[in-house]
Amino acid sequence: SIRKISEKYDKVFVTGCLEPQNNGPRANAAFVVLARNKELEGVVQSMKSIERHFNRWFHYPYVFLNDGDFNSTFKETVAKHASAPIEFGKVDDSMWGYPNWTDKDVAQEGIRKQGDAAIMYGGMESYHHMCRFYSGFFYKHELLQKYEWYWRLEPEIKYFCDITYDPFIHMERANKTYGFTIAVKELRETVPNIFRYASAYKRLKNLKSQGLWEMFLERPKEDEEETLKEDTKNKKELPEEILHTEPGADDMEDIHPDAMEGESYNMCHFWSNFEIAKLDWFRSQEYNDFFEMMDRSGGFWMERWGDAPIHSLAAGALLGPSDIHYFRDFGYRHTTIQHCPANAPARQLPRIPFLETTTTSEKERIAEDEYWATYDKEKENGVGCRCK
Ligand code: GDP
Ligand code: MN
């Protein structure tokens, strides 16, 4: 329930407006920025924002990654805006593009069809590569090997509030694995089969829910149950040709719509353009098994699976609520969606759709009221302080 997440498990790390607490230890961490030369302006905007609101006090290094080569203008310009060391890395073919077990023609045809169907980014080959890279490879890049933590930065994002404490250190101390600030609902047509595979993974590995999985489940109202069952029945299988035939294929045969055991995905996911997370979790055997199974389904090509629902469903299967941190004190904007605690209308849900969908009983409604009382009090006390 809401109360469980917001109060028992996940308090804000620091309440109130502080002078920057930057005289403590530093974490072994870096900003990770995947970008192209043409995005330089947006990258600079993001750097200005994070430097002004955080990094001018903390000086965490940056790792810039690109499937192409950064040009000298890009390198020189970003260097001017960083208050910390920078490294530039290339993403090679082992982490980007079609692996040798895919039938490239089938994959490209799949992408073309998604373009025709006007699925958002569905017809854009490079976007599929990017999502797959952020789902299963970035943490394997050689430049990230020395780091334990990363903070993802994208072009054209904005931080509104001063972040005067070290989120890595706080996550370490609170024993957190994954931090987010915005959760939204995915466009259903981009991930029609994602949940079948994620759910099958959980079942095949005999994973018991640690409590986070339920947050990604739809809670159908009585009269909607029939329609949902119909939906599941009509779900198209991913085409045979794209599925791999290497060891592990047996697992795939087990995946049947019934694998969902009546559960269905509520489309909620942590918006991964902001992420602070422990790299060791991504490097773990379990996460990589999950990625490999998802990857082998062909869903990164035949559908347009984003890294956000991939990371989120992996977290649902492998982590519990206490491993997750909601940075509700961070004011953050990416394109049209933002979360700014100091400016949020008091009764507006802070963009966690699963909170809405899990509120059913009278008891939970009371919990929600209490949650909001806490939220309002924190606001008065200055959570999200110095938002500009
Ligand atoms: P959106 O946030 O979903 O609209 O997607 P973006 O276009 O912002 O892409 C997500 C991240 O991947 C951003 O950091 C982009 O700079 C980066 N990115 C996307 N496509 C490519 C690509 O083809 N090459 C490189 N090097 N970076 C990319
Ligand atoms: Mn973006």
CB atoms within 10 A of CB 137: 17
The reported pLDDT for the residue numbered 336 is 85
Residue 337 dihedral angles phi and psi, to the nearest 5° = -110, 130
Ligand 1 contacts CB of residue 155 (under 6 A): yes
**35's tokens:** 């970008």
The structural domains of the chain, with segments of one domain joined by +, span 2-380
Atom of ligand 1 nearest to the CA of 153: 14
Q: Distances from the Cα of 202 to the Cαs of 154, 158, 191, 248, 359, in angstroms?
A: 31, 36, 18, 15, 25
User: Is 275 a catalytic site residue?
Assistant: yes
Cα 141 to ligand 2 centroid, rounded to whole Å: 20
CA angle 246, 249, 250 (to 5 degrees): 140
**Helix 285-296 and helix 307-318, axial crossing angle in degrees, nearest 10:** 130
What is the dihedral angle through the alpha carbons of 13, 16, 19, 25, rounded to the nearest 10 degrees?
-10
Output the pTM of the full model. Answer: 0.85
Rounded to an integer, what distance in angstroms lies between the CA atom of residue 274 and that of residue 328? 12
Q: Give the mutation target among 36, 64, 304 for probing the ligand 1 site: most ligand atoms within 8 A of CB.
A: 36
Q: Exactly one of 39, 51, 154, 275 is catalytic; which is it?
A: 275
Q: Give the mutation target among 130, 274, 338 for probing the ligand 1 site: most ligand atoms within 8 A of CB.
A: 130
DSSP string for residues in 41-81: HHHHHHHHHHIIIIIHHH---EEEEESSPPPHHHHHHHHHH
Query: Cβ distance 310 to 161 under 8 Å?
Result: no
Rounded to an integer, what distance in angstroms lies between the CA atom of residue 39 and that of residue 46? 11
Query: Cβ distance 319 to 7 under 8 Å?
Result: no
- Backbone CA torsion sign across 278, 326, 199, 367: positive
Q: Nearest Cα to 133, choosing from 96, 173, 90?
A: 96
CA atoms within 13 A on the CB side of 94: 5
Rounded to an integer, what distance in angstroms lies between the CA atom of residue 224 and that of residue 227? 5
Q: Distances from the Cα of 234 to the Cαs of 24, 229, 298, 308, 369, in angstroms?
A: 56, 9, 19, 25, 39
Query: Cβ distance 322 to 10 under 8 Å?
Result: yes
Rounded to an integer, what distance in angstroms lies between the CA atom of residue 13 and that of residue 33? 25
The reported pLDDT for the residue numbered 338 is 83
Rounded to an integer, what distance in angstroms lies between the CA atom of residue 142 and that of residue 63? 11
Atom of ligand 1 nearest to the CA of 33: 14
Q: Distances from the Cα of 81 to the Cαs of 48, 55, 56, 343, in angstroms?
A: 7, 11, 10, 28
Is the reported ipTM for this assembly greater than 0.90?
yes
Cα 154 to ligand 2 centroid, rounded to whole Å: 6
Task: Report the share of the chain in percent with pLDDT over 90.
Answer: 63
Residues of the chain below pLDDT 50:
1-6, 233-234, 243-254, 256-258, 343-360, 382-388
Rounded to an integer, what distance in angstroms lies between the CA atom of residue 260 and that of residue 219? 14
Ligand 1 contacts CB of residue 275 (under 6 A): no
Residue 292 dihedral angles phi and psi, to the nearest 5° = -60, -40
DSSP string for residues in 267-302: -EEE-TTSEEEEHHHHHSHHHHHHHHHHHHTTHHHH
DSSP assigned state of 6 = I
CA angle 178, 188, 196 (to 5 degrees): 70
Q: Which residue blocks in 319-361 are alpha helix, DSSP H?
A: 353-358
Determine whether domain 2-380 maps to CATH 3.90.550.10. yes
Q: Which amino acid belongs to residue 198? A: A
Atom of ligand 1 nearest to the CA of 34: 14
Strand 332-334 to strand 157-159: parallel, antiparallel, or no bridges (unpaired)?
antiparallel
**266's tokens:** 């509520």
